[in-house]
Amino acid sequence: MPRTAYVNGHYVAYDEAMLSIDDRAVQFGDSVYEVVAVRRGHLVELDDHLSRLERSLRELRMAQPRSRTALKLIMKEIQRRNHVHNGLLYVQVTRGVAPRNHKFPSAAVRPGIVVTGKSRIDQESVLAWQKGVKVLTVPDDRWRRRDVKSTNLLANVMAKQAAADAGCREAWLVDDDGFVTEGTSSTAWIVSRTSCIITRPLSNDILHGVTRGNLLRVIEAHGYSVEERAFTVTEAEHADEAFITSANNPVTPVVQINDTIVGNGEPGPVTRRLQEHYAAVAGAL
């Protein structure tokens, strides 16, 4: 089935979609994005994703390309045209098209917008959710504003490739003090020997994960012990359990960190219960 994309006001065939060579997303990575999961026809946590998109735009002094209501209509139309019942929607906003110059272009430049959607039955993600994944730790070489969901992802790409080369699904990024910040495309969590769930607190050091925030609400609603604090690689390797979260990988167990088996090498009981609790409010993988 041919796919459809939305690019700067037009619905076009996916294979014909394009941006200008002078778009600042192309020249500088001067753009932000969101990825929204679609489960059973429902756009999961849509308003939370749009709130984070609006925050990223404000932080980069970038104009809002459409009202929230209009953007929702565009996204749902892309979902309809691409018959996305289970899958992902991608939204990218660029600062716009202008002659190449590092400083911002004039206010007359209109921001660009791209929306795409695809159905996704990812057996690898399903298997990861069921059996768990391995992660590799690497130095965190990214810029200091990781709370902005920018398309400047080269450091993430290099870390993810290092993980893939090592036979791991994800890389956990480690700051100069030896503490885990987050994954290349996920939030990092551990479960202590006392069943306390631990994840790094919000700051400019990590992306303010939508799935992270909603899972914390689920955790607190079910009475689990939780701490928002930094943890070291060593603490993670000796934890009872570990897992990652993202829109595309909700509550995915981590069974090995570097060469160290986590717990007994299988998804732990706390992680399993959190999968059930989260699926009850957000839909299954």
149 is an active site residue: yes
One-letter amino acid at 105 equals: P
Active-site hit among 103, 118, 149, 160: 149
Cβ neighbors of 276 (< 8 A, separation 6 or more) are none
Burial 23-43 (b: 16+ CB within 10 A, else e): bbbbbeebbbbbbbbbbeeeb
133-139 and 170-174: which strand pairing?
parallel
In 10 A of CB 103, how many CB atoms?
5
Structure tokens belonging to residue 240: 């009872």
| Contact indicator for 41, 28 with CB cutoff of 8 Å | no
Which residue, among 195, 197, 218, 213, has the nearest Cα to 278 in the 3D structure?
218
| Contact indicator for 4, 99 with CB cutoff of 8 Å | no
Cβ neighbors of 98 (< 8 A, separation 6 or more) are 22, 24, 105, 106, 109
How many whole angstroms separate alpha carbon 277 and alpha carbon 208? 21
87-94 and 112-119: which strand pairing?
antiparallel
Q: What is the DSSP letter of 110?
A: P
How many whole angstroms separate alpha carbon 267 and alpha carbon 253? 5
- Catalytic sites, residue numbers: 149
